[in-house]
Structure 1
């Protein structure tokens, strides 16, 4: 038996097996740089071996693009002979899956070299490094993600376009924005109930469900965690859960950032605050302060590093279609109080609960990388005592509020990320190199693809 470098224990596995004699197999899930779950399904009798010795996986599992193809420019394929590394379980993530036949479970895993050192291209390790940097300053982070997504029909409409899923209760179609409609949610009640039931089984603190600002769009919120790694684990597990339960009800859960051009896209808003060793929120104002200096400096760091970090928050070609005015996605490195037109919103509420809502990332981004870069940006702002500039009040899409615009396109974001010393520090050099290489390969794949739009614009015109 080898000591687990992830902190997992064989006693956790044994307790689980004793409590769940019905479980026949277990999904072991590793998040790659794109946030795609990669791994294996193992049989029940193999679970103790995973906890005792880990499990070998090829190094190239972290060199894959969004389609699962090797990106050789990462240096993680043939240059290393596609050698084996070892995954180990993430403590607390071994849970039953709801509705599987035969009964299965799931456990998140994280990647290490054979000698037990963290493998630098695992996105969970990137977040762990930033959590450790905070701890060295006597600080910890608390936070939660919001999950916006579409429920779509598995059939296209007569023009070949995607369409919202019909209500699973009675098949009723909806083609209008039913934002905040409770009656609309009732049409998805069996699916919603299964999502909540599955989340309870897995210990995921899912809270509010909302009908969002587009036909077929929804949002689920998660309870705040004082453990930032677990907050990101929650989002990873919830996303997988929603996709699986939707599929069982005959609809598709879509986590593209902008699946429908005429409506708002889907974000992954990230709420975060910082706490000192005395369990005080350092963003909370004291006395007559309007804003705490730590909050302003943190916002300054987020604003100063946003452009070079945009590739993390908008990692795919489709991500960039979300950033349009008046669509609840930011178009500038702006901040404001109780204002949903800015990049960094300070929600209304008591000083004790003061936090930043980072509204930039799309739901297609990797939550471990989002959190890692956000924490690094906050620390830079605190260390350098950065000024965030004036508060945006009113319309954050107005011309005078967008002077600090984000990069205009995906290619610009890739090049800014490639040359960013800040992003290299935030992700770690190995993850930074591999992530940029994967994004460049994906960009080239998209750029050389002749699309249906090309034919519509040019086939009979040029």
Structure 2
């Protein structure tokens, strides 16, 4: 094969300049992972030889349309209408420009490339999560507005071996040789102990251009948080977030560990959240949310009012799985109502401490098990809906929101019902997306509830 740096490179001229530059910097690259992230945020696709990239950029690559809505176990959800009803048809998937990146954890030189799926008419497929977010951003652009987005992800590092009861357990601390059992939030010694892991993640992020800038030891043994820098391109911010999850899992596996973004892996410990920070710039580059706590701006108040109005309709996007709902417990820094406030971690919509010009909303409802594209789409759509309609969020909460407002315990089946009946979802994201995502989750729920659990045997097998 002609070297990638040669002017006779087989990569056609329509390749994004960033992709061509990346490929030229990887002359030894042998294979490329083509990644299509489904509605659950799982990477699906193909692995190809480097030489095959020419055809991918020129003609795209065929993948089954049903891949977008496979359930969490990888099975086609026939109720979506994307399986046997249409003969399990293939659709053309084309590269996302600028998304080619090296895969530094691979034992052989590799790259990865994000894909977007088209429908039968050659248009972007409406139910593709990345496309859902792109359409929301179009509405911002039509108003001369641009969201600035940053993503925070929490996860657990776990031993790859389960405990005696078959349950996950914290890993062996590489420094002490024992398992951490205590909670030491923001404890620097924990970061030092796992520096081999966090340094490897940082190296992978640097290689892939992922702007990870902060690592924190969180509120449980083996729990960490990595924050990404803010971006004025929300699509790019979510590309980076979903690729960060893949990198974290890969680095953990390399080091004999398991990284999990499961919302609530331990009953007695904190859950994993996905927090999205959003400010909004006008055409002049000024933040329309700018204000002080003493005098909240109308734009900030209305944006939060929109998030409150849309929270119930969008809960299934923030909490997509059965386990997601175990995270919603009191006094665990997880919102149990639609409250908001300044510099207050007990509320759902927090306005973090900042100077007036950099005021932003931190949306705290989502679990780390959610799809970043869909979370961002729901948050941004809710904010814009509030700005356009002038919704009033009520006064900000000062002090403990758990004690001042009614706390709700949401349930998966109710969230699915609300989502599938929601006019807001259909109007903002399209009826096709509402149908496909709703049917996917309904199938998962039905599959989940036909299983007989160990707890049922313990409670009922002998006693009833």
Q: Matched residue of 2:173: which SS?
A: coil
Q: Which moved more, 1:314-323 or 1:388-397?
A: 388-397
Residue 34 in 1 paired to residue 26 in 2? no
Contact 2:336-2:409 within 8 A present in 1 as well: no
Query: 340, 352, 359: which is aligned to 2:345?
Result: 340
Alpha-carbon displacement from aligned partner over 1:135-176 (angstroms, at most 9, x marks no partner)? 111111111110100000011122222111123456432111
Residue 276 in 1 paired to residue 282 in 2? yes
Query: 128, 147, 150: which is aligned to 2:153?
Result: 147
Give the match for residue 329 of structure 2.
324
Query: 365, 372, 380: which is aligned to 1:375?
Result: 380
Q: Describe how 1:385-400 pairs up with structure 2 within 5 A.
A: 385-398=390-403, 400=404
Q: Which moved more, 1:292-301 or 1:388-397?
A: 388-397
Give the match for residue 319 of structure 2.
314
CA distance in 2, matches of 1:434, 1:117: 17
Alpha-carbon displacement from aligned partner over 1:50-106 (angstroms, at most 9, x marks no partner)? 111111111111231010111111011112111111111112221111131111111
Residue 401 in 1 paired to residue 423 in 2? no
Contact 2:29-2:109 within 8 A present in 1 as well: yes
Give the match for residue 124 of structure 1.
130
Question: What is the deviation of 1:16?
Answer: 3.1
Contact 2:303-2:382 within 8 A present in 1 as well: yes
Query: 164, 179, 182: which is aligned to 1:158?
Result: 164
Give the match for residue 357 of structure 1.
362
Give the match for residue 3 of structure 1.
none
Question: What is the deviation of 1:407?
Answer: 6.1
Aligned residues: 452
Residue 456 in 1 paired to residue 458 in 2? yes
Residue 98 in 1 paired to residue 104 in 2? yes
Give the match for residue 4 of structure 1.
none
Q: Describe how 1:235-250 pairs up with structure 2 within 5 A.
A: 235-250=241-256
Q: Matched residue of 1:397: which SS?
A: helix
Q: Matched residue of 2:94: which SS?
A: strand
CA 1:170–1:363: 2 relative to 1, 3 Å = same
Question: What is the deviation of 1:14?
Answer: 4.0
CA distance in 2, matches of 1:171, 1:49: 51
CA distance in 1, matches of 2:340, 2:110: 45
CA distance in 2, matches of 1:148, 1:186: 18
Question: What is the deviation of 1:383?
Answer: 1.2
CA distance in 2, matches of 1:374, 1:406: 20
Alpha-carbon displacement from aligned partner over 1:2-33 (angstroms, at most 9, x marks no partner)? xxxxx972655443332211111111111111
CA distance in 1, matches of 2:99, 2:85: 33
Question: What is the deviation of 1:292?
Answer: 0.4
> TM-score by structure 2 length?
0.94
Contact 1:178-1:213 within 8 A present in 2 as well: yes
Contact 1:169-1:190 within 8 A present in 2 as well: no
Q: Which moved more, 1:292-301 or 1:53-62?
A: 53-62
Contact 1:306-1:406 within 8 A present in 2 as well: no
CA distance in 2, matches of 1:13, 1:138: 29
- Structure 2 unaligned runs (5+)? 1-12
Alpha-carbon displacement from aligned partner over 1:255-314 (angstroms, at most 9, x marks no partner)? 10000000110000000011110101000028x961000000000000011111100000
Contact 2:19-2:99 within 8 A present in 1 as well: no
Q: Matched residue of 1:269: which SS?
A: strand
